[in-house]
Structure 1
Amino acid sequence: MNEFASEAANGAKKFMVQEASISGSEKIYSLVQCTQDLSSDDCTKCLQNATSRFPSLLDGKRGGRVCLPSCNIRYELYPSYYVDEPPQMTPQLVSPPPPSPTDPVTVPKGKSKMSPLAIVGIVIAVTTVSLTLLVTVCRMLLRHKTARENYHTIRRQNGKAPVIYIY
């Protein structure tokens, strides 16, 4: 198993399957795989770590798997994988795109590209913001007017009133 794992770790795909005869008609199907971001050495170490867990985890079992974050090993008495080699693609010449039309594309007048629901949403949002701004300005002006009236009332009393702080 270690040779098999080492061979997979050094491969470009970091993936390998193998079948071997264990008795007359019985075969064992094995799969090893590492994530592509691992170096060959790290993949080998991960697969060795996974292999070392087999005796304690799979003692007496006829199949099993050990999955670690960066690698996994699986063996079964039946093929648990499907390996299909991708078809060899022959390079094809790509034709250039057709020339763009010389006339600009025009949108018929009277037609809008926006949906009615989007238009309603925009109108509601603008109205809400406008009303909020209007109410805020009115409250500020009213507060300013009240403060000015209170200030003039205190001045008319020619200092006979106690000191009043207006916030």
Structure 2
Amino acid sequence: MLTVLQILDSPSINFLLLIKELLSNFLGGLLIWTVLVLILYIVLFYGARFLFRRLNNEIGILTLNVLQTPLLIIFILIFIKIAIYSLGALEYLAFIERLLTAAIIVFSTYLVGELFTQVFAYYLSQYAEKTEAEWDDVLVPIIKNTLPIIIFLIGSFFFYKH
């Protein structure tokens, strides 16, 4: 008959206790990051949008509209990666961490590309309308068409590196 000390000292019980501790750390970290991202999201997108509307800042509102979805996805991927990293004892998570890093790079490249094609191009076109020079009217379409290609090439280099 097994005694209580033999059962408590068995490897399976120790393994289950280790899993319980790792999962509680993982879920605790996940909860903390969820609350932080939610607070940051509310402050950034609702507070800043209110401020930009009161100041009649079209570029600020456009920037927030472009940033809203990709930035949220990037934050979620980052905090999942940090939470998985806290589970460091598990060996099979290295592939998942690399996959998350690649996804962060893809969404970051998309975000930068959208910022340059929509926000920066909008600002340049507004500036070109105010000036009397003709060279900026020619330069703005060239920048609108070539800058996304350069950004996605740089992003693809980072993606293939990881």
TM-score (norm 1): 0.25
Q: Which has the higher contact order (CA 8 A, sep 6+)?
A: 2
TM-score by structure 2 length? Answer: 0.25
More helix by share: 2
